[in-house]
Amino acid sequence: MKKSLVLFTLICASLLLSACKKESSTDTPKDKYAFRKDGTLQFHSPEGELKAEFDIEIVQKDEEIMRGLKFRDKMQDNQGMLFIFEHIDFHSFWMQDTYLSLDMIFIDHNYEVIHIEKNTTPFSEEQIFPPKANKYVLELLATSAEKNNIQEKDKVSWQVLEN
C-alpha cells in the first residue's frame, strides 16, 4: 500500500510539473510566423530613378492574407509583406493582433502607388480603406515611406526568388 501511495504521488508530481512547464519558444505564434524571403521589391520615381529596395514575403492565399503580419513583434527595416489579390478592388486592411506600426502602400494594377497609409495604430480594428481600387498592398515598418521618399505615383516592380 505504501509503495502504491509513493508511486501515485510521484506520478501526480510529474504530471503537475509537466503541466506547469513553460512552452518552448518554437511553440509561440511569433516564431511560427517568422519572415520568409520570397523576393525583392523596388520603388522607382515616375522618372525611373531607383528609390528603395526591400526583401519581401509574398502572400496570395486567403489564409495568408487574413493573417498578414499578425502576431509578429519584429521586422527588419528592409523587409515587407506584399499582398497580391486575385482581383482589382477596394481591398481594405486593419491592425487587429498586429504588434507593429506599419506603412501600408496601396498599389494599382499598373504597379503605381495610389495611396500610403502611414504609421498605422497597432491592434486597431478600424478599417483602412484606399481611395481607389487596388490589386496589391505592401506593408512596411512605420516611417519607411517617409525615410525612402516613397510617394503616390511611384512605380513598383518585384522579382520572385526561384525555389
- Strand bridging mode 155-160 / 39-44: antiparallel
Cα(131)–Cα(126) distance, integer angstroms: 16
pLDDT in tens, 42-51: 999 999 999 9
Q: % helix / strand / coil in the chain, to the nearest 5?
A: 20, 35, 45
Structurally, at CATH architecture level, domain 25-160 sits in: Sandwich (2.60)
Whole-structure pTM value? 0.79
Residue that has been written with the C-alpha cell 512605420 in this structure: 142
State the pLDDT at residue 160: 97
Lowest mean pLDDT among 8-12, 64-68, 75-79, 118-122: 8-12
- Order of strands, sheet of 102-107, starting from the edge strand that comes earlier in the sequence: 113-117, 102-107, 134-141, 79-89, 50-59, 39-44, 155-160
Structure-model confidence comparison of residues 103 and 4, the more confident one: 103
pLDDT confidence bin for 10, thresholds 50/70/90? very low
3-class secondary-structure state, position 144: helix
50-59 vs 79-89, strand pairing mode: parallel
